[in-house]
Amino acid sequence: MKIAIIGAGAMGGSFAEGLLKGSIFNPSDITIANPHKDKLQRFSNLGANTTTNNIEAIKDADIIAIVVKPWLVEQVINEIKDSIDYNHQIIINMAAAIKADTLFSWLDKNGQKPVLFQVIPNIAIAQKASMTFIVPCGASHKQTSIVKEVFDDLGKSLITDETHLGAGTTLASCGIAYAMRYVRAASEGGVELGFKADIAKEIVLQTLKGAVELLQTTGMHPETAIDQVTTPGGLTIKGLNTMEKNGFSNAVIEGLKAGLK
C-alpha cells in the first residue's frame, strides 16, 4: 500500500514522521509533497519520496492525504482532481471545518465522486500517540478498516460522524494545546515552589503520565482516583478547592466550548 501526503507543515509533517516510525508503510511507499523543498529534506533522508509536484506525488498512491490550510484545499483539489482515479484511490482530508458535501462538490467529476475520509488527528501523531477522529464518507467497511488500521498504528482512533468532528477537534486536536498549557502552568508553579524549570517540567510530565496510566489501567473515574489521594482536612483537597475557587474546571469547560464556536 502506498500513501501520498500533500502539505508538509505542522500536521502533514507530523503525519509523515509518524508513518515513517509506523509498521504499515515502508518508507519507499510514502510520498510527501510540499511547495518549499526545505521542509522535505528530513523525510527524504529517512527514505521517503519527496516532491514539489502534487500530481507527481499522487501517482500510484492508494491513499491521498490533503493536509494544507483549509483555504487552500479547493485549489489543491482543482490541481490534482483530473489525475485521481476515483475507482482505486482513497482521499483523506485533514483540513478542519470543511464539510464533506463541500469537498464532494469540489471533487465532482461529471457526477463521479471518490471515497472520502474526514480525518482529524493531533500533532502527537509524530510520536504515534495521536487521538484521531475518522469520518468515512461513502466508504465500504473494508476501506474504513484499512484507514482505521493506519491511524490505530499512530495512536488511537475513533470512527465517528461529521456532527461530532468539531467536538472531537476541540477536545483532542486543540486539546493537546490545552494539555500543554496545564504542563506550563504546573511547571511555573513548581519553579515558584523551588524547583529548577527543567526539573519542574519533568516532575509534571511524569505525574501526568502516572495519572493517565492509572486511569487507563484501572478504568477508574478521575473523581474516584482523587478520593484516594485526598485525606479529609489534608493538603490535596485544600489545593484542589483553591484551584476550583479560581475557576479551574469552569475555565477548562468554557475553553473547550469556545474552541467549538
Ligand X SMILES: NC(=O)c1ccc[n+]([C@@H]2O[C@H](COP(=O)([O-])OP(=O)(O)OC[C@H]3O[C@@H](n4cnc5c(N)ncnc54)[C@H](OP(=O)(O)O)[C@@H]3O)[C@@H](O)[C@H]2O)c1
Residues that bind ligand X (CB under 6 A): 6-12, 33-36, 39, 54, 67-70, 72, 76, 94-96, 120, 122-123, 173
Q: Decide whether 124 or 200 has the Cβ nearer to ligand X.
A: 124
Q: Which residue is nearest to ligand X (CB)?
A: 9
- Let me know: does 69 contact 95? Beta carbons within 8 Å: yes
Closest distance of CB 125 from ligand X, Å? 9
The owner of cell 476541540 is: 170
What one-character-per-residue DSSP string does 212-232 give? HHHHHHH---HHHHHHHH--T
Closest distance of CB 50 from ligand X, Å? 12
Cα–Cα distance between 17 and 5 in angstroms, integer?
11
According to DSSP, the residues that pair with 136 across neighbouring strands are 117
Q: Decide whether 158 or 203 has the Cβ nearer to ligand X.
A: 158
Closest distance of CB 75 from ligand X, Å? 6
Q: Decide whether 82 or 223 has the Cβ nearer to ligand X.
A: 82
Closest distance of CB 69 from ligand X, Å? 5
Q: Decide whether 58 or 200 has the Cβ nearer to ligand X.
A: 58
Q: Is 24 helix (H, G, I), strand (E, B) or coil?
A: coil
Q: Decide whether 71 or 87 has the Cβ nearer to ligand X.
A: 71
Q: Decide whether 103 or 200 has the Cβ nearer to ligand X.
A: 103
- Let me know: does 160 contact 172? Beta carbons within 8 Å: no
According to DSSP, the residues that pair with 121 across neighbouring strands are none
Closest distance of CB 14 from ligand X, Å? 7
Cα-Cα-Cα-Cα dihedral sign, residues 73, 76, 80, 81? positive
Distances in Å between the Cα of 55 and the Cα atoms of 44, 49, 79, 102, 118 are 18, 13, 8, 22, 21
Closest distance of CB 11 from ligand X, Å? 3
